[in-house]
Amino acid sequence: MSMGVKLDRAVANGILKDGDKLVRVEKLDTSSWASVAKVEIETSDGLLSAYFFKVLKTEDAAERVLGEYMAMLEIYNTLPDFAPQPRAYGKCADEDAYFFLCDYLTISPDLPDPVRLGRKLAELHKKSRSPNGKFGFHVTTFDGKLPLNTTWETSWTSFFKKLMCDVYILDMNVNGFWKDLDDVMQVTLKKLIPRLLDPLTADGRSIKPCLIHGDLWESNIGTDANTGELYIFDACSYYAHHEKEVGIWRCEHHQMKAKEYRNEYFKNYEPSEPIEEFDDRNRLYSVETLIINSAHFPGAKTRQLAVDELKYLIDKYI
């Protein structure tokens, strides 16, 4: 048995059944926010199984592992062949820390196939059903190390306005007040968001709250090296307008900014009416990604890019 890292008893209890043997625990590259490892076991009938687990020691670790577990469980229960099965989460037994545990996947480093991803993501969105018909989620989920405001709202405009406002506050707490950003954010919250999102439900139209991953960039999408199937992980899910999911795919700091990714998705789940404004809604949705990236990485150019994108939209619509 190879033991590259100690397996906490609480994690072991989440995977080991009577007669199972621990084969190997291998430390993986540490993520930005946690320690991660792979666990291999031999079951009582001689089969090998592998699991991925992460351990967090931050003050908000309990809330973060709960958010990830519930987000991944919601995706898995909706479309089980699109996510590794989450197995357990909770407090570690041998240290003051918290863990998240799921099935392990052998992932290819290549970018995902746009056609397959567009089809699969649309299937997740279409199959999902908000438990109360509202936008939001039943626990707080975390984009990276930062919490999202996922409290339920009946109005998508209200939900997105609240989400943007809280993300802006997170950024300001890290990077400080900047008048250029504040000026456009005040107009965005008061006028631009209602102008672009209220028409989605005007004139008898409606939009369905869809389960989204919430942070779907290339490092959170993988192709199984053995089967070729696509999987998504590290989710910060909530129920949202389906177009919100792919706003991240126009951001310059991600590799999946090629229009092909958005085009393939919208072939499978068409944009909402008014369709002539959907690209500007996509631009608006991308700003939330830019601002939370700025909050994660002080001094990043994404803060200026957020200002530029909002100025463009304000000049066009307000």
pLDDT at residue 19, as a whole number = 84
How many CB atoms are closer than 10 A to CB 221?
20
Q: Is the dihedral of CA 196, 202, 204, 207 positive or negative?
A: positive
Query: Which domains does the chain show, CATH number per domain?
Result: 2-104 (3.30.200.20), 109-317 (3.90.1200.10)
pLDDT for 1 beyond 60? no
CB distance 82 to 74 below 8 Å: no
pLDDT band at 265, cuts 50/70/90?
Answer: very high
pLDDT tens figures, 77-103:
999 999 999 999 999 999 999 999 999
Write out the DSSP string of 274-302. Answer: SGGGHHHHHHHHHHHHHHHHHHHSTT-TH
CB distance 310 to 186 below 8 Å: no
pLDDT at residue 5, as a whole number = 65
Nearest to 261 by CA among 291, 228, 216, 313: 216
User: At residue 204, what are phi and psi to the nearest 5 degrees?
Assistant: 80, 0
Burial 14-26 (b: 16+ CB within 10 A, else e): bbbeeebebebbe
* Amino acid of residue 254: H
User: Rounded to two decimals, what is the model's pTM?
Assistant: 0.95
Rounded Cα distance between 41 and 47, Å, is: 8
Tell me the H-state helices in the chain: 9-15, 61-78, 114-127, 156-175, 179-187, 193-197, 259-268, 278-296, 302-317
Rounded Cα distance between 254 and 290, Å, is: 10
pLDDT for 182 beyond 60? yes
Rounded Cα distance between 68 and 121, Å, is: 19
pLDDT tens figures, 32-77:
667 888 999 998 888 999 999 999 999 999 999 999 999 999 999 9
